[in-house]
Every structure is written in C-alpha cells, then in structure tokens.
Structure 1
Amino acid sequence: MVGLFLYGMGIAFMVRGEIGAAPWDVLSQGIARHVPLSFGVITILTSIVVLLFWLPLRQRYGIGTLLNALLVGPSADIGLFLIPAGQALWLRVGFFVIGLLVLAAATGLYIGAHFGPGPRDGLMTGLHNRTGWPIWIVRTGLEIIVVVIGWSLGGNVGIGTLAFAVLVGPLCQYFMRIFAVRIEERPQEDVAA
C-alpha cells in the first residue's frame, strides 16, 4: 500500500516537473485536456481499460493488481494538489528527479510484495507471452503508442519523457533488489506434513 501511494506521488512530482511526463502519464494528461475529469480519475479509468485487455491474454489478477488500478490515481491527485505548478526550471527539474526516484522505489515496494503486477506491467507480460516478442519490444511498442496518442491530445512530451524511458528500468531493477520480499519454498516433505 505504501508503494502504491508513493507511486502516485512520484507521478505527481514528475508531472509538476513540466519537462515531459512518463508515457502513460502523457496519455492521462492528454485525455484530461478534453474531459472534465481529474488526472487521477483518468488514470483509474485507463487502468480499468488496460485490465480489460488482460482478458483475452489470460493474465491473472492479484489483489495488488486491483489495488494498483484503484489507488495510484487518487494518490497522484493528492500529489498534484500539494505540489505547486509553474515553478522555476531548476525546481521543476528537481521535482522530476525526485518523482523518478520515488516512482522507482515505489515500484520496488509494490512489485517486491508479490501481490500481482500493475495493469500496464501485466499487459506487457501478457502480450509477450501471447506473441513471443521480446519484452523490450512489447514495452517499447506500448509506450510509443501511448506517448503518440497522449501527445496528439495535448500531453506533455519532453526531455523528461526521454529520461524516464532511459532511466526507469535500471532504477526499478535496483529498488526491486532492495525491497523484494524473499519467498522461500518449503521442501516437499514439509508440505505433506
């Protein structure tokens, strides 16, 4: 739960950085320019649509999957309420860096808990399993599609979007090593007892 709350706060810091958002957040920003809904509500609705794509892919939901879909958006809205917009460039760059680090650490927390992948991660792995395409191709393809759609709707694409694409993987991997809960398998004779 802490990881999911921090994930939304990380998104809010990056959005308030105003130097380019993460791909799925560019999509939420673009949609928000055309409908009377908050960024967080759009994030929830996008998650629900993504979860519908899981059905033909036969992906399994976990409690963490559903909590991710429902809680990241509201925490992003809280962060967007608390973090001021329109700051000096040096402060906006700082916001983006803080957001990226918080998001990566939050990813390590919520994935490391083993309660199920987030909606977008499950879509990626489901497409990988069904198509046989490498994860990096599936992930890159999905993110290019959502960035193009979000940008065409008015979402903020910039150097931050590129920095996110390059840095989020290594940072998430680092934090996942730190926060992963170790699950030990019990020997077969213990299971029978």
Structure 2
Amino acid sequence: MTPRLTMTRRIVQLGIGLFLYGFAIALMIRAEVGVGPWDVLGQGVSLTTGIPFGFVTNIIGLVVLLLWIPIRQKPGIGTVFNVALVGPSAQLGLWMLPEIEGLALRILVFAAGLLLLGIATGLYLGARFGPGPRDGLMTGIHHRYGGKIWVVRSSIELVVLSIGAFLGGDLGWGTLAFALLIGPIVHVTIPRLMVPAAVSGESVETPEPSPDVTVP
C-alpha cells in the first residue's frame, strides 16, 4: 500500500473508530446495567452539574489531557480528536436511542455496545495516531514513575469509579462485565485492525490495549 493510501486509511479509520466509540458508550448507557469506570464518573458529574453527558465527556477528556503535562506525555493527533469527538458522538447516540424496556433486551443492548466498543477501540488505536487521554495517562504514569501497568490502570480506574459512584453514576454488574471482557476483546481487535506501515522499515507503534472510556 502506498504512503498516500495508508494515510487515507488511517484518517478514515480514526474518524469511524472515534464515532463508533461514542455510540457504543451510548448503547451501554441506555442498557442501564452499569457502564465502564470513566463513564460512571461522567454520568455522576452530569447528574451533579446538569451538564449533558457528552459534554462532560469532553471536559473530563480535556482535564485528563492537562494531567499529561507533569508526566511529560506528548499527545498525538488521535489524542486530540478523541477529546473532541467521542463526547459529541455519545451525546448523538443518547439522542437517537430510545429508553430500553425489559432486562433481556437491556442485556443484549449492553453486549452489543461492549462488542462495538472493542471494535471501535481497535479502529482508532489501529490508526496509529496516538492513544486517548485516559490510556495516555495510564501509560505516562507507568513510564514516568514505574510500577506494573495493571496496577497503575486499576488504581486510576478505582479512583474514578469511586468518585463516579458517589456522585450517582450507573455502577452495576455491567461495570464488572466491562472490566472483565473489554481487555480480551481489544486483544483480538487491535492486531486485526492495525494499519500496516506503508514503507518497509517504518516504525509501527502498537498502543496499549485499554478501555478509554473509555471509555472513552
């Protein structure tokens, strides 16, 4: 594949991935069985402030991005677009999707949202434009201060989950399912959706698979 075609694919894949990421979050929110840690925080802040969830997602992403400064983490184009696009796409999804009735249907909607989130993560990380702000915070702290990556990730998510639950975010069994399943899903999707180097010898950095979101 030529460099031009590779770049075109990367840009298109990034845009589609980030849009689907936000829409996947909206599906899981509508399921009302629990969401990922960062989205529990987003819901809690939204309920407390009255600011729509999608805009809260933008604000949290921007605040997390500012936390990159002391750990000397440099954002990529994908990082900036993640902050800008995931929130609006989630808000659009919440506007489009109706309230879900019945537990069985809510479980199916949650499962669809979780699977879509895994695919979206593979798309936007596979575009090789840099991680989202939450993933970057995790890897930046790990590289700056050391420690096992899973300990850093778990510590961050425990803090945001606790704050979000205290503020009234949707903490449920879906939150546990998210924590257990998103890792194996993106372990499959990221390698398969990784855009290959256009030129032999071009460095291809494989991002850390992690739910930004998470959620985004």
TM-score range (shorter-chain normalised) is over 0.9
Correspondent of 2:189 among 150, 154, 175:
175
Partner of 2:91, secondary structure, is helix
Q: Deviations over 1:88-144 (max 9, x none)?
A: 111111111010000000000000000011000000000101121111111111111
Partner of 1:165, secondary structure, is helix
Residue 119 (str. 1) matches residue 127 (str. 2):
no
Which residue of structure 1 lines up, in the alignment, with residue 105 of structure 2?
A: 91
Aligned length, in residue pairs: 188
Q: Deviations over 1:50-75 (max 9, x none)?
A: 00100011111111000000100000
Change (3 A) 1:142 1:187: closer
Correspondent of 1:7 among 3, 10, 21:
21
Q: Aligned partners of 2:156, 2:201: CA distance in 1, in Å?
A: 40
How far residue 185 of structure 1 moved from its aligned partner, in angstroms, is 5.8
Runs of 4+ in 1 over 3 A off after TM superposition: 184-188
TM-score, with length taken from structure 1: 0.94
Structure 2 segments unaligned to the other structure (5+ residues): 1-14, 203-216
Amino acid at match of 2:167: L
Which residue of structure 2 lines up, in the alignment, with residue 140 of structure 1?
A: 154
Q: Aligned partners of 1:187, 1:45: CA distance in 2, in Å?
A: 38
Q: Aligned partners of 1:64, 1:36: CA distance in 2, in Å?
A: 29
Correspondent of 1:17 among 9, 18, 31:
31
Correspondent of 1:101 among 84, 105, 115:
115
Residue 73 (str. 1) matches residue 82 (str. 2):
no
Which residue of structure 1 lines up, in the alignment, with residue 53 of structure 2?
A: 39
RMSD of Structure 2 on Structure 1 (CA): 1.3
Q: Aligned partners of 2:201, 2:103: CA distance in 1, in Å?
A: 56
Q: Aligned partners of 1:147, 1:84: CA distance in 2, in Å?
A: 26
Q: Deviations over 1:164-190 (max 9, x none)?
A: 0000011011100110011266459xx
Structure 1 segments unaligned to the other structure (5+ residues): 189-193
Q: Aligned partners of 1:185, 1:120: CA distance in 2, in Å?
A: 30
Decide which structure has greater helix share. 1
